[in-house]
Structure 1
């Protein structure tokens, strides 16, 4: 058994539930099994976005985040269920409780996926045997399918779990990286979204192999420190440990400014907050974080200082969304006296490549509809400056 467990290295599994919301509904109502099923908006009103769908529905071309009317056109027999998030949370809790029976080193990264370090689990069998056992227990006890990646680090385990779905188990070693990962388009790499892939294309980086061999200075200039981290991942390097307490860590990114003169005009103070939100957003993007908690700091002329924060339902990274939270906090807590200093801090940060919204249908649909507009606004602001857009008069 020792041959499967390196003395100095780790053995990490990434457990990724297959079509989780749809699978939970099928476990709850077995008559749905084998049928094209979508979790989406109100079928009667033909509104909404497909949050997830069964593999039977995917065969017809249904995918996330497709408008429901389009999904119904592709698959006329599509069954539609409204999301039941309490049911999904209970299933997620049961899934992680099962994983913890194998190892204490379990790190949830979203409602339906997590890492488990089995480096000290030799008495339970080989990594492949443990993965098979986990997969079968999730099926037998919870009636939920999953795919599992087995690797020496978190990044490779995540990439491996995506390779065979549904119900796949894949082993990915560092020596496999050049011939398995490098030929893939860079956009298929975990942690690289479409926007990042477009920036990489400007550097002639089209495959994961191109990224692995990319120039450090160009990467840093284009993507900041995150670009160098992505290059490490492309080479199969990832030193992050599986951390059961990672979700509770209180990381933060913040900016504050001492005003050149004390201000007591709300519009001018909000303009300062908007610039601070842009700065915090830019810093989080460079570091690869999203915030789950926005806080503001107000210091008055007499140096009295207050800090107020708000936990968020979904992680934020966009400057306009951070500003809206900060603006709300400021209006609720400013006493009208002259202000000497303002600050915004993003707390409870989560890694961008692991962030997964705790979806409710309203926020999912709203985000999907607004994303094209957000992209255009970002492009114009990057080209002409943040001040190109002016807000209209607020009649609230």
Structure 2
């Protein structure tokens, strides 16, 4: 159970793998060590962008989200590799399993980073000793470097882990904010993107210290309730608990893909749409969830991006239902300009066990037909246990594993035997 939000004297870790995908590839093939390598979505096509790169590549100016052609121009000897998400997920699972041996209070936030609350693990050593143990164990057993931030709350721990890379361990105490945190440029603050930074600079907020000292009323006028939240964070105030169950608080599952070329071909767009919806439906079923909103994202040739959604009266999870709404949105909102990228997501998700069946005139007969099946399933479950049907889907589940790190619906896999 997570600590109370008001608990005092907490010791929170933020752990962040260094160049995770590239590090996993180098651990898999040691001959890559010391070379400029980058993981790219599709090295052969225009849509290829850099997902991550080694420090050797970064030293040449290669950055995440940079187009492949630009990265190659900066670093002609760059070694490009396609991502192997199965390999990365397996490494992630092993890492979080190690973390959970230290404390059950582990909250993954992505495939390569997470929080730990080690407040009640004093018998294992000092916070620095525990951090060093984790860092060395992950390096020794998996050959993957990581950095750790140690602080009294999640925000400061996250900021600390970014201060020394690779293989850094940084402690950030509240009494050190004036000398360590506040001089940093506002763009370096976790939770502030380019647009927010731009707004803040217009009112002469250039550093985190400026934000910490700024009048809360004017910040709320500028940014709404987020203004007060950011001011609190800048002052080291963050009561959020490390919540192992937060990984289940997913509200949408989506999939997107850039086309190999800008397209105005309806058949081509429809084919991609069907592929994206199939990905979404598989992952929704894997989480035993259903959603009430379908959102379509269209990025045009000039990079203009629009999102349009439709909220339904009932929950859906079937491919055909999601596709029907997605096609409807595309027909209604596509202006026939060349399309560069399409994305589909099912939103307002709930786990099926939380969703009451909403019968209507069109589905009620189908549900009546299924009643006998449900009764039989319940009888077998009572007799053999609640997991009697899971083995039937085990092979399918393997096929339905997520394909990118940006999907978070697999982050509790480390808990599975």
Q: Same fold (TM over 0.5)?
A: yes
CA distance in 2, matches of 1:325, 1:27: 45
Change in CA separation of 1:70 and 1:155 when aligned onto 2, cut-off 3 Å:
same
Match of residue 366 from structure 2: none
How many residue pairs get aligned? The number is 284
CA deviation string 1:78-123 (max 9, x = no partner): 1010011111111111110010010000000111000001000111
CA deviation string 1:10-52 (max 9, x = no partner): 0010000000111111111111111100001444456511110
1:321 CA displacement: 2.8
CA distance in 2, matches of 1:169, 1:361: 25
Match of residue 101 from structure 1: 101
CA deviation string 1:172-207 (max 9, x = no partner): 000011111111111100000111101111221111
Task: Give matches, 1:36-55, under 5 Å.
Answer: 36-45=36-45, 48-55=48-55
CA distance in 2, matches of 1:38, 1:324: 38
Change in CA separation of 1:69 and 1:110 when aligned onto 2, cut-off 3 Å:
same
Change in CA separation of 1:107 and 1:322 when aligned onto 2, cut-off 3 Å:
farther
CA distance in 2, matches of 1:239, 1:116: 14
CA distance in 2, matches of 1:40, 1:176: 39
Q: Is contact 2:295-2:308 (8 Å) kept?
A: no
SS of residue matched to 1:160: helix
CA deviation string 1:293-346 (max 9, x = no partner): 9xxxxxxxxxxxx9735699xxxxx994352787x9688379xxxxxxxxxx95
Match of residue 307 from structure 2: 321
CA distance in 2, matches of 1:307, 1:106: 28
Structure 2 length normalisation: TM-score?
0.62
1:125 CA displacement: 0.3
Task: Give matches, 1:297-376, under 5 Å.
Answer: 308-309=292-293, 320-323=306-309, 332=324, 346-347=347-348, 360=404
CA distance in 2, matches of 1:362, 1:120: 32
Match of residue 186 from structure 1: 186
Task: Give matches, 1:380-395, under 5 Å.
Answer: none
Q: Is contact 2:39-2:50 (8 Å) kept?
A: yes
1:228 aligns with 2:228: yes
Match of residue 131 from structure 2: 131
CA distance in 1, matches of 2:191, 2:37: 28
Unmatched 5+ stretches in structure 1: 1-6, 253-291, 294-305, 313-317, 335-344, 350-357, 364-396
Superposed CA RMSD: 3.4
CA deviation string 1:122-142 (max 9, x = no partner): 110000000000000100111
1:8 CA displacement: 3.2
1:73 CA displacement: 1.3
Q: Is contact 1:57-1:75 (8 Å) kept?
A: yes
Match of residue 85 from structure 1: 85
Change in CA separation of 1:132 and 1:332 when aligned onto 2, cut-off 3 Å:
same
Unmatched 5+ stretches in structure 2: 1-6, 253-282, 285-289, 297-303, 313-319, 327-345, 351-401, 408-417
Change in CA separation of 1:64 and 1:203 when aligned onto 2, cut-off 3 Å:
same
CA distance in 2, matches of 1:26, 1:118: 30
CA distance in 2, matches of 1:126, 1:200: 39
